[in-house]
Structure 1
Amino acid sequence: MSIDLSSSAIAATVSRQGLKIPILIDGRLVMPPGVVIGPAGEIYVGLDPMAAMSLPADHRFVDNPTDLLGRPINTADTTQPDPVDLLATVLRHVTHHAAVQVNGPITALTVTVPPSWGPRRCGHVSEAATRAGFPPPALVTAPAALAAYATILGVTVPAGSCVLICQADREPATLTVLQTAADGYRELATQQISLAHDLDHLIAHHVVQTATTDSDPLQAIITAPSSDQPDVGRALLESVRTARHLLTTQDQALILLPAPRQPAVITRHDVTAAAQPLLDQIPDAVDGLLDSADIDKTHLADVVLRPAPGVAALAEALAAATGKTPTLIDHPHALADGALALTTTHQSGSAAAARLPRVRLRISDLTGALLLGACSLVLLLQAILSAYITTFSTWVVGVRTSLPQLGTAGALVMLTAFAVAHLAPTTLLAGTPTASTPEPTTGSLIRRGYLTTAVGGAITAALYGLATGTAVEYDYTPYLKWTLGAALPLAAFAALIAATAPRIPANALPTWLAMTRPAVTHAITATAGIYLMRAAITLTTPISTNAVAPIAGSIGAALVGIATALTISRRRTIRAITAPGLAIGYALVFTVDTTGALIVGYLAALTWWGIRLTAHTLRLAFPQPGTALRHLADRTGG
């Protein structure tokens, strides 16, 4: 689990089975860092300054426990809280929600801290984690976490080059230069941009000056230090914070002034004017930072900005000072996710890079693909050889054969391709890997295998239709429609599996591999049944007295019913109920006219098998609802 303590709000992400899962804390994506201490010592977490205004007088509000770390504790003052205890309470609260959400214990902890923290405050974080019941956490500075998250978004930083990180979402704004290294990033220099008042005070002062007269007492209130702010001033500052966040998505926002004053309307231009003291310092701060890092602007591969809400001009100021357009990162879990990328090997991309688990090859694995291919050829040849061809002179004017049987031959071709796709990685991994032949990765094996399945199976099914038309010397169109039509759904499933299966966690791959192995016995049973039904129809003529043909056809229909029931479900109870029922029902309704419908039922069962396999793959690849959409939004900057 990764917890971000360096931003204006606390965010947490859990890495589980190769996937990053954002944690909802009290139903929120981010939690305010405020802590309230009751008169009996009870601690409440997750409150913002506005909510704290309604607390009783005997409750003490701490805006952010991390601001108290490193300060000397006055042992004579019994009312002074222990910041380590407060932080430990916050960690326990967040990890409790994480454990409930992922339904499992948190076994390791990563914490993102500001770059200005040294051994003292970092030691306090480790002590807080110990009090919360965790081993010492891995600590990642906020600039390194942002740089790592930028690489997740696709930003390329060559080895040995530098990146400038600006974190402006929390006061004071911080500039840092990092250099890429083999084990992550090396900090070359960092610098804070200090202001007489924070941005909220500057904006509030600008609004009050614009909306009130010089004699208004509100002007004196808003210029007072934060610690001396009365409730009126704190309410105004909270309204300013809300307006700044609204200006990120709209052109105007309201700021509520104390009654009887009318609300003030501000725009992004007003925020830019109020933030001018910060913007004016950017050029000199960047030059001084680069000098401290002993680099030039040419050494910068990229500039990453964690923006201050509503201050769009900050990106323009950085671009002018560095000569590079900043990469904006305002995702609430960016630092938590980036820290995980540096401290764990279980990332969203690690499932594709993880080594495929060893799978013991069996004789059935080696012969399964051959048997499925043989079943497909048997049905194809029988349909061709048993075709009733009508000729006029030397011209073929009509052909009667079982089109659904040809469709089944095409579908079995796709099953053969699935068996080959399952066999390929296990064959490659059957031996002992050597240094000269590195072990293939899951992503490449699955992606190549199932893409080959989709393309190769569909092409072979199309060739089946063309071969049938050539053999009977008649129009191949109806045969191609059936062979290719039955194979295309399975080909589409194989393509979807190729795209998503590389995200499956490594520890879930053995179960998934077992599920992807086609059931050869079911296919052989269906093939035998279809063969018997077709043979019975061939032997039956209007004047035939052959009594064996109807019995053979009924047996074949019963076998198709059993294969259909076994293919539809993997549960033994359902199979035990449906298999006898379908076998008896198919045998009773078997006639020349119903043979095609019975075969189509088996084709539908094969399609349902592909749907179940694809759905199971998607659930393993994206265990949380909406993970795929969030992953896409992260990559597109949404």
Structure 2
Amino acid sequence: MPSGGARLSIDLSSPAIAATVDRHGARIPVMLDGRLAMPRGVALDPAGNLYLGVPSANTPPPGHQFVPDPLDLLGTTDTSRPVDAVEVLATLLRHVTGQAAKQVGEPIVTLTLTIPSSWGPRRRDQLIEAASRAGISAPTMVTAPAALAAHAQAHGLTAPDGSCLLICQAGRHPVTLTVLQVNSDGYRELATRAIDPPGDLNQVLAQRIVEAATAHDDPLRVDIADQTQDGRVLLESVRQARQLLATQDRAPVLLPAPRTPTVITRDDVATATQPLLDTVHDAVRDTLDTADINPQHLAGVILRETEPIPGLHDRLTTATGLAPAVLRDQSHVLADGALALTAPHHDARTAADSHLPRVRLRVRDLTSATVLTACSLALLLQAVLTADITTVEYRIIGVRTSLPQLGTAGALAMLTAFAVAHLAPTTWLAGTPTTPTPEPATGSLIRRGYLAAAVGGAIAAALYGLATGTSVGYDYSPYLRWTLGSALPLAVCATVIAATAPRIPATDLPTWLKHTRPAVLHAAIATAGIYLMRAALTITPPVDWTGMPGLIGSTGAALLGIATAMTATRSRTIRTITAPGLAIGYAIVFTSNTSGALTVGYLIAVTWWSIRLAGHTLRLAFPAAGAALRRLTDGRSD
């Protein structure tokens, strides 16, 4: 069946590019060429081909041009830049989107980009142009501070509407402070400020290593500022050493060959960070003053460090009076936060005003309905043809047949109607209509399909009861009670679905359709089991091994037990545990007196399946009521 696609979020504001895809509510990190985060560097060969995700420490092949971060070229007017930044970004978006779609097996329908808060209309327009070149609809843009705030709130940070949050981003140079005010529809940026020490910490440490080597009459000819190959290798080694210093006191730094590695300590890092730490208190105060708030207005402080900065946490605590919530070493924090922030705004449509893709009805689409129809008729005909009719002077005075089997035939007739209704919103009876008549919304198709299923299935079940009474020439009342009585609970559930399904959010429709598809295999197994049990009780002479009513009957009972377990729950774990137990139990207890009870057990499982489906539909259609019910249940359980 066609699906609605997935939502993709790409973080363009961190030192490395990370992406998360939302597939019907499940958040999945995207593996980019086998990596959770992709380096920003690109290489351009003489033919103009781009190579993405090139680490800074790698040496490009001869003739290739390396650009450490092409996103830094966005918004510039320099015509001598080595690459077209918009084209590079388009290639990047196309590559990441393709990787995400391949990983989840669904097309990407919406794109969210996390960007620095300093990016204005010029660079945002370039992002839109890049998405257009990549064949992607215009993306939703979320600033990095807002994405961090959304992630923190989604994971337990409490911030009432009207309160403020201070966001400290220590992921890229320079460190930035941002004050956000929490609103019901997102966040309002009140002020932002960069803490600009003499240089990037990695560059400061690398420069000190170069100066130390030179002071020992062993000149190290590495140009950090111009980003030469040796300089990039040294910076990458320093960055990795800083990561190691988070858990140990000393860490090695590789130097260009043939030099031996040197060592830096936590004291070296502390010395390099001191100019930054000395400015934190004043920077916080200036940022709060610009936002026109006091520290008392802050509901929380959020600190994100991609590389540890010793002492920063304590300085923020002293300046604000609040211990920061630290988000460290989580490459997908911003991508996840952007998804959490934009989820309510991506698609507010419901089934009543949306249209699922529809295809022409094929023979294989009718497989479910055909198999269920065959199962239903097989049980009906067997119950009629094996009925034990008692006559006196050519007058029928009694008929003995399996009433639960007739009830199962009626329930399967209703399941057949469910299978047909499941096709209604996604298939045409013929090709696409050429008339100008507007296509009905998916919600309207679902309503019509399930109302027709409720009425048609109930009528078919009633006809089963009447046909049985006519065939055996006896009062049809008991047969009608079983066939119609077994189908009516399913008909009620179909009516509930028809009334509420149009309110289901459009993004939940693909998942909901998967839930509504009747399990044909389970029904076929149950039909085989009931058929064999009835055959074992009506075969003359009966098969009798080891004192049991017969191997045929025991096999049928086991099959019915398996089908009952598989129908009653969707949990694989529970199925694995209960199916063998019910199969063995049913086979042991099967007799002519218990066969009806075993069949009734399957009827209960089918009814429970329809109730669960109606309940799932209600929860999707009325999420607030479902959440309130869960809270009430949780409160009572406490």
Shorter-chain TM-score bucket reads 0.5 to 0.7
Aligned to 1:299: 297
Match of 1:73 among 66, 69, 78: 78
Aligned to 2:482: none
Aligned to 1:217: 219
Contact 1:557 1:598 survives alignment (8 Å): no
Aligned to 1:148: 150
Amino acid at match of 1:127: E
What SS does structure 1 have at the residue aligned with 2:16?
coil
The number of aligned residues is 455
Amino acid at match of 1:139: M
Contact 1:110 1:340 survives alignment (8 Å): yes
Contact 2:11 2:18 survives alignment (8 Å): yes
Aligned to 2:421: none
Match of 1:279 among 277, 280, 300: 277
Summarize the Cα distance change of 1:281–1:518 in structure 2 as closer, same or farther, 3 Å threshold.
Answer: same
Q: TM-score, normalised by structure 2?
A: 0.60
**Could you tell me how far apart the structure 2 residues matched to 1:97 and 1:548 are?**
62
**Could you tell me how far apart the structure 2 residues matched to 1:591 and 1:217 are?**
88
Aligned to 2:557: 560
Summarize the Cα distance change of 1:261–1:39 in structure 2 as closer, same or farther, 3 Å threshold.
Answer: closer
Aligned to 2:510: 507
**Could you tell me how far apart the structure 1 residues matched to 2:588 and 2:334 are?**
68
Contact 1:13 1:22 survives alignment (8 Å): yes
After TM superposition, the structure 1 = structure 2 runs for residues 83-482 of structure 1, keeping only pairs within 5 Å, are 83-208=85-210, 213=215, 215-218=217-220, 221=221, 226-227=225-226, 229-259=227-257, 261-330=259-328, 331-345=330-344, 360=450, 362=454, 431=499
**Could you tell me how far apart the structure 2 residues matched to 1:157 and 1:425 are?**
41
Amino acid at match of 2:512: L
Aligned to 1:55: 61
**Could you tell me how far apart the structure 1 residues matched to 2:98 and 2:132 are?**
15
What SS does structure 1 have at the residue aligned with 2:202?
helix
After TM superposition, the structure 1 = structure 2 runs for residues 9-28 of structure 1, keeping only pairs within 5 Å, are 9-28=16-35
1:238 Cα offset (Å): 1.5
The one-character-per-residue Cα deviations of 1:140-162 (angstroms, maximum 9, x if unpaired) are: 11101111111221212111111
**Could you tell me how far apart the structure 2 residues matched to 1:41 and 1:91 are?**
18
Q: TM-score, normalised by structure 1?
A: 0.60
Summarize the Cα distance change of 1:214–1:291 in structure 2 as closer, same or farther, 3 Å threshold.
Answer: farther
Contact 1:73 1:82 survives alignment (8 Å): no
Amino acid at match of 2:164: C
What SS does structure 1 have at the residue aligned with 2:303?
strand
Tell me whether 1:42 sits opposite 2:46 in the alignment: no
Summarize the Cα distance change of 1:440–1:325 in structure 2 as closer, same or farther, 3 Å threshold.
Answer: farther
Ranges in structure 1 where 5+ consecutive residues have no aligned partner: 352-356, 368-415, 434-438, 443-503, 537-545, 571-585, 614-638
Amino acid at match of 2:335: A
Amino acid at match of 1:328: V
**Could you tell me how far apart the structure 2 residues matched to 1:129 and 1:591 are?**
65
What SS does structure 1 have at the residue aligned with 2:176?
strand
What SS does structure 1 have at the residue aligned with 2:233?
helix
Contact 1:37 1:61 survives alignment (8 Å): yes
1:110 Cα offset (Å): 1.3
Summarize the Cα distance change of 1:153–1:36 in structure 2 as closer, same or farther, 3 Å threshold.
Answer: same
What SS does structure 1 have at the residue aligned with 2:57?
helix
**Could you tell me how far apart the structure 2 residues matched to 1:256 and 1:290 are?**
41
Aligned to 1:411: none
**Could you tell me how far apart the structure 2 residues matched to 1:19 and 1:269 are?**
43
Summarize the Cα distance change of 1:165–1:423 in structure 2 as closer, same or farther, 3 Å threshold.
Answer: farther
What SS does structure 2 have at the residue aligned with 1:115?
coil
**Could you tell me how far apart the structure 1 residues matched to 2:94 and 2:529 are?**
58
Sequence identity (%): 44
1:41 Cα offset (Å): 1.5
**Could you tell me how far apart the structure 2 residues matched to 1:598 and 1:346 are?**
55
What SS does structure 2 have at the residue aligned with 1:2?
strand
Amino acid at match of 1:274: A
Aligned to 1:581: none
Amino acid at match of 2:17: I
Amino acid at match of 2:13: S
**Could you tell me how far apart the structure 1 residues matched to 2:307 and 2:195 are?**
17
1:135 Cα offset (Å): 2.3
1:366 Cα offset (Å): 10
1:119 Cα offset (Å): 0.7
Aligned to 2:390: none
Amino acid at match of 2:116: P
Amino acid at match of 1:107: V
Match of 2:37 among 30, 36, 60: 30
What SS does structure 2 have at the residue aligned with 1:257?
coil
**Could you tell me how far apart the structure 2 residues matched to 1:106 and 1:549 are?**
59
Contact 2:169 2:303 survives alignment (8 Å): yes
Amino acid at match of 2:253: I
Contact 2:86 2:127 survives alignment (8 Å): yes
What SS does structure 2 have at the residue aligned with 1:309?
coil
Contact 2:207 2:224 survives alignment (8 Å): no
Ranges in structure 2 where 5+ consecutive residues have no aligned partner: 1-7, 351-442, 460-485, 568-582, 611-638
1:569 Cα offset (Å): 7.9
What SS does structure 2 have at the residue aligned with 1:70?
coil
What SS does structure 2 have at the residue aligned with 1:177?
strand
Summarize the Cα distance change of 1:278–1:533 in structure 2 as closer, same or farther, 3 Å threshold.
Answer: same
**Could you tell me how far apart the structure 1 residues matched to 2:85 and 2:589 are?**
84
Root-mean-square deviation (Å): 5.0
